[in-house]
Amino acid sequence: MKTRTLIYALLLALTLSACKGEKKLAQYSEIYRERPAAIYVAPLSDMSLRRAVRATEDSLFNRSLNIAAHQLFLTATDPLVNNGYYVPGPLASAQIAASETRTGKQLRNESINDYHSDLGIDAILFITLQGWNQTPNSWSTEVEYVLRSTHSNSELLHVVVKATKTLPTDFKGNPLPLVEDKAFAERYGCDLETAQRCRLVEIVNQYVLKDLPAGSRARQHRAERYIQSHPEHFTLKIHPDGSVEMKKSEQ
C-alpha cells in the first residue's frame, strides 16, 4: 500500500512545465456524449525487443521486460475503477480474451459492436508497449493508449506517452535506488531493475487513465468539464528526487 500511496502523492505533486491539452469537454467530447460505463482492457500488445539468449544476463533482461509488461496490463484497471468505471475482473477478462477469434489489429480497426450487444461492454482499451531504452541509471519507455467505443467504433481516447525514470548516482556513477524502489523489489521479490520498470509503467497508467472524465459510478462535478486535460502526445519524467514532470511533446 505504501507504493500505491506514494504514486498518488507524486501525481498530486506534479510539476507541469508546459502547456496542457484542451479542456476536457473538447478533448473527451465523445466520452461525454456516449457516457461509457463498462470498459474492457484488451490483452497488452508488447512490441519490446527481447535479447537472443546467450548468457544468464540475457534471460534476466527478457524476464524483466516480461514482468514490466504484465505490470502495465494489471495496473491499468485500478485508475479506471477509481475513476468510476466498471472493469471486468481478471477471470472474466481472461475468458473474454480466450473466446476472441479476431487479432488485436482487427479489434483495433474493425467493428466491435458485438462487445456491447453480447457482453454489455461500452468501450475497449488497447495498450501498446512500444519498447524500452535504458542507461546505467535511467529507464525509458513509450506507451500508446487507444480507447474505442463499442457503440460507434470511434476512438474516445488516443494518447502516446514517452516516460523516463532516472535514479541518482554515487560518486562512481552507480545508480542509487530510492527507498520506495527497494520496498517494491522486496514486496514483489524482483530485482531493482525490474522494480524501476514496474514503478514507471504503473505511474504512466495512473497519469493517463485518471485524466479520463469521471465514469457513471463516480460523483460528477460540473467544473470537471472545464479543466484542462493532458495533451495527446507528451513526455513524463520521474526525476532522481521522485518528482514528476510532464511536457507536451511534438507529434
**Is it the case that residue 126 has pLDDT exceeding 90?**
yes
pLDDT digits (tens, 9 = 90+) for 5-31: 444 444 444 433 344 568 898 999 999
pLDDT digits (tens, 9 = 90+) for 28-84: 999 999 999 999 999 999 999 999 999 999 999 999 999 999 999 999 999 999 999
Q: Which cell numbers hold the place of 229? A: 486535460
pLDDT digits (tens, 9 = 90+) for 206-240: 999 999 998 888 776 667 888 888 889 999 999 99
Q: Which cell numbers hold the place of 140? A: 525509458
Tell me the three state secondary structure of residue 138: strand
Give the pLDDT score at 18. 40
What structural domains does the chain harbor?
24-239 (3.40.50.10610)
Give the pLDDT score at 21. 61
* Whole-number Å distance between alpha carbons of 19 and 134: 27
Give the pLDDT score at 13. 44
Q: Which has the higher per-residue pLDDT, 22 or 124?
A: 124
pLDDT digits (tens, 9 = 90+) for 83-93: 999 999 989 99
DSSP strands (E only) in the chain? 15-16, 39-41, 45-46, 123-135, 138-149, 155-166, 233-238, 244-248
